[in-house]
Amino acid sequence: MNSVKRATVADANSLYKQAGYSGRATPTDLLYGAYRGHQCVSVTRLQEYNGQWLLRHLCTLPSERRQGLAMTLCRSILIDVEKTVWLFPLPGLHVLYEQAGFKAVPDNQVPEALQKVWLATKKKYPQSQAMMAEPTGDT
């Protein structure tokens, strides 16, 4: 059975390591994971920037990809949080995030608190598009 819940730093970093991913969770991150039984199979970090969340390093184990886990994780986060969630996805992942409830935002609408991260992302991935979603509070 699948469940989405708050993840631990140990679960997140274990998954990142298993997936060969460079992201690393810290105790200051708000972590969410999709679990199959007791195993975390997809995880993401939320970092707070001036009253808004930045979703970072969403990663799913390669053997678990293309099963809707990332979308389920994003939708669960939007139900649980009470602040706007921003993300700067890799090119090619925009459609996934749109289906999860995020919308593309013009560069000039990225909040000042996120500008430094956004500019670094845009420099590395020029085709990236800033995206945001409001919490849904759905149950």
Q: Is residue 138 assigned to a domain?
A: no
pLDDT at 35 over 90: yes
Instruction: Please report, as a single letter, which amino acid is at residue 98.
Output: E
pLDDT at 7 over 70: yes
Q: Is residue 36 assigned to a domain?
A: yes
Q: Are 62 and 78 in contact (CB under 8 A)?
A: no
pLDDT at 72 over 80: yes
Q: Is residue 139 assigned to a domain?
A: no
Give the chain's domain count: 1
Provide the domain limits for residue 49: 2-133
pLDDT of residue 1: 47
* Rounded mean pLDDT, 51-60: 92
Return all residues near 120 (Cβ < 8 A) that are at least 6 apart: none
Tokens 């706007």 belong to residue: 84
- Banded pLDDT at 111 (limits 50, 70, 90): very high
Q: Is residue 55 assigned to a domain?
A: yes
pLDDT of residue 137: 75
Tokens 């020029």 belong to residue: 126
Q: Is residue 80 assigned to a domain?
A: yes
pLDDT of residue 54: 96
**Domain of 21: which CATH number?**
3.40.630.30
